[in-house]
Structure 1
Amino acid sequence: MRLPSLPVALTPRRRPRPPRDLPLEAGERVLAGVPGAWATQRALLLAAGPGWDRLPWHEVLAATWDDERGALAVESVRGAREVVLGEPGLLPETVRERVQSSIVLTRHVPVLGRRGVRVVARRVPGRDGLLWQEVADPGVDPADPRVRAAVDLEQRRLRAAML
């Protein structure tokens, strides 16, 4: 007996298989991905020449998906990067969820009018405690003594409030 075929919209999609050279750590598993970009529970892996660029979630500051261009733009503590992927599958949603789940707290500390420094507390998989990050707005020098004093004071307040 032959079963009727499902309409295309109801046909289950096959999840693409990650390449064999994808540098997974022990116990790490792929959550979503497409050729050129793979998300695991610990990091975003982006194709980089003959190898892979590994961006742990706590290093990803922002990521946006441009549906018209099929491009994933990633801003990390190492700089910005864009990868044209075409069909994204579940990658954009997975990236958003992983980045958001790493953030415990974020607070903007204004130091020059509205400009300032964003203080972020993040979880790092496999590590106890929180990682504290500071992301300066354009035109703000995080090494400036006045900026440093304001950020340090706010960070002490936030740490004390979390105890």
Structure 2
Amino acid sequence: MGLFSRKPKLPPAARPPLADGERVLAWAVVGDGALGAGGLGGVLVASNLGLWLPGRDARLGWHDVLKAVWSGRELTVTPAERVAERTGYVVVADGPAETYLLLEPGDLPHQVRARVTRSVAYTEHHPVPGGAGRIAARRVPGVDGLTWTVRYDPGTPADDEPVLAETDGLVAAARAVTAPADL
């Protein structure tokens, strides 16, 4: 593409069912360049609210992307899977990583990186009894405040009472540090 040329518009058959106020930021055909039957089956779409992945009926919100890695040809996305609800936070684990070959990625990898990074308001790795975990606060479009998650390292006894007590304290301390100051 030349300096002032624009990528063609997303074909209507490949357009995901966008919510009110949701807009397409970037898109790329997955694989060999063929859209395939079913439209969305062969297109990855980044919107202001999240990522529409081929084979999924719903958008993956930016706050639900644990990792996104661009190799120069492939985009690998690791979604968060909810493991447990705790008071004030959710325990998450890595979902199955999904890798997509993008022969003409355009602005898609940049948008994914920027949006995932922008969703993170706080992240810190902490030791806990018998292991460690990452506490994160994410911005969720349309939700006031921050959404808190904990992702334990593999092998950490996440159900042990000392781990839960330490995690509760760490999340409470992180919330206090990130709370807006009263003026």
TM-score by length of structure 1 reads 0.83
CA offset at residue 42 of structure 1?
0.4
CA offset at residue 34 of structure 1?
0.9
Q: SS at the partner of 1:61?
A: strand
What are structure 1's unaligned runs of at least 5 residues? Answer: 1-7
- Does structure 1 residue 44 correspond to structure 2 residue 51? yes
Contact 1:16-1:34 within 8 A present in 2 as well: no
Higher CA-based Rg: 1
> Could you report, residue by residue, the CA deviation over 1:13-37 in whole angstroms, capped at 9, with x for unpaired residues?
3244154341211110001111221
- Does structure 1 residue 77 correspond to structure 2 residue 80? yes
What are structure 2's unaligned runs of at least 5 residues? Answer: 30-42, 82-94
| Aligned residue among 85, 109, 115 for 1:92 | 109
TM-score by length of structure 2 reads 0.75
RMSD: 1.9
> Could you report, residue by residue, the CA deviation over 1:72-102 in whole angstroms, capped at 9, with x for unpaired residues?
1011113121122222111111001100111
Query: Which runs of structure 1 show a deviation greater than 2 angstroms over 4 or more consecutive aligned residues?
Result: 8-11, 18-21
> Could you report, residue by residue, the CA deviation over 1:76-135 in whole angstroms, capped at 9, with x for unpaired residues?
11312112222211111100110011110001111257x411000011100111100111
- Does structure 1 residue 133 correspond to structure 2 residue 138? no
For the residues of structure 1 that align with 2:64 and 2:135, how far apart are their CA atoms?
14
For the residues of structure 2 that align with 1:63 and 1:102, how far apart are their CA atoms?
13
CA offset at residue 52 of structure 1?
3.9
| Aligned residue among 62, 67, 70 for 1:65 | 70
- Does structure 1 residue 25 correspond to structure 2 residue 42? no
Equivalenced residues, count? 151
Instruction: From the superposition, tell whether residues 162 and 10 of structure 1 become closer, same or farther in structure 2 (CA, over 3 Å).
Output: closer
Contact 1:18-1:38 within 8 A present in 2 as well: no
Q: SS at the partner of 2:156?
A: coil
| Aligned residue among 82, 106, 116 for 2:132 | 116
Contact 2:24-2:47 within 8 A present in 1 as well: yes
For the residues of structure 2 that align with 1:13 and 1:138, how far apart are their CA atoms?
44
For the residues of structure 2 that align with 1:139 and 1:116, how far apart are their CA atoms?
9
Corresponding residue number in structure 1 for 2:123: 106
Q: RCO (CA 8 Å, sep 6+): is it higher in 1 or 2?
A: 2
CA offset at residue 160 of structure 1?
1.5
Corresponding residue number in structure 2 for 1:5: none
For the residues of structure 1 that align with 2:101 and 2:12, how far apart are their CA atoms?
18
